[in-house]
Amino acid sequence: MVTLEAVGAAVEALWPLSGASGWDSPGLVSGDPTATVGRIHLAVDAVLDTADEAIEVGADLLLVHHPLLFHGVTSVAESTTKGAVLARLIRGSCALLAAHTNADVVGTGTSRAIAARLGLVDQAPLETSSGDSTGTTGLGIVGRLPQRVTLVALARALADILPPVAGGVRVAGASDRVIQTVALCGGAGDSLLDNPSVVGADVYITSDLRHHPASDARDRMLLGQGPALVDVSHWASEWLWLDTAAAELRAALPGVEVSVSELRTDPWDFAVLQ
């Protein structure tokens, strides 16, 4: 029998909390550390749909990427979204745990999952983790494609790799631009637009690019001072990591069943093209 405390120790070994950003709030959100865990269900987000799914499949733990209690809250009343999610999980005897930026920075983290699907070689983090003398862990990835491709071909490859969402894949740059050096950051990555490895890349792939930073970056590209941009769904970019996480948990916790949610928790349901 494996306890929630033992699962927590395995999670800490895989994705140490010491690697989390100072503003982050990963870790155990709810659950009895002495409770038995026979099944773990993985999802990107702790939302009503994934909470219901975890209970329906008989999970004892919902392990998510995004922390539910990210910012301070003063109420978990069931009239609030966070309270409703927690109440459903607690009533269903399902614990909740998050592995966020601590899972981003490891050598098998969220950006690495995208890089592996693209076949990038000579990979290195965009920002190396503090105290890492090897330069192998950190936020984001820069690497090279084995062969040069056009920007539109790369965008189409991403559309095939990522699960489909209403927003699709958005691109800034000439369709025939030649791409070999790729910088990427799973999840929101506009804070890295000025990173030297991003500026020196042929393309930067990330999510949640806001209008003004993206507009400025596009102008820099037109001046020959920065990369083309590819903006993908935040959820989709991090969903790819779940299979890797599941495999690592199965290896660390023999006998514990691990499943991956295929529910789309990207917030948009449809788009009308103009």
pLDDT value of residue 70: 85
CB 165, CB 235: distance < 8 Å: yes
At 53, which helix (H) or strand (E)? Answer: helix 48-56
Angle (CA) 45 46 48, round 5°:
115
Alpha helical stretches, state H, 57-195: 81-91, 101-104, 110-118, 151-161
CB 177, CB 230: distance < 8 Å: no
pLDDT value of residue 135: 75
**Positive or negative, the Cα torsion across 183, 24, 129, 220?**
positive
270 by Cβ neighbours in 10 Å (0-12 / 13-18 / 19+) ranks as exposed
Reading phi first (left if > 0) and then psi (alpha if -120 to 50, else beta), residue 115 is in alpha
225 by Cβ neighbours in 10 Å (0-12 / 13-18 / 19+) ranks as exposed
pLDDT value of residue 252: 98
pLDDT value of residue 1: 84
At 10, which helix (H) or strand (E)? Answer: helix 4-14
Q: How far apart are CA 9 and CA 3, in angstroms?
A: 10
Reading phi first (left if > 0) and then psi (alpha if -120 to 50, else beta), residue 93 is in left
pLDDT value of residue 202: 98
Tens-digit pLDDT string for the chain (274 aa): 899 999 999 999 999 999 999 999 999 999 999 999 999 999 999 999 999 999 999 999 999 999 999 888 889 999 999 999 999 999 999 999 999 999 999 999 999 999 999 999 999 999 999 878 777 899 999 999 999 999 999 999 999 999 999 999 999 999 999 999 999 999 999 999 999 999 999 999 999 999 999 999 999 999 999 999 999 999 999 999 999 999 999 999 999 999 999 999 999 999 998 8
Q: How far apart are CA 140 and CA 185, in angstroms?
A: 4
Q: How far apart are CA 132 and CA 13, in angstroms?
A: 16
pLDDT value of residue 132: 82
Spell out the domains of the chain, with CATH numbers in brackets: 4-103 (3.40.1390.30), 105-237 (3.40.1390.30)
CB 249, CB 55: distance < 8 Å: no
| Residue in 81, 79, 128, 92 with CA at minimum distance from that of residue 107 | 128
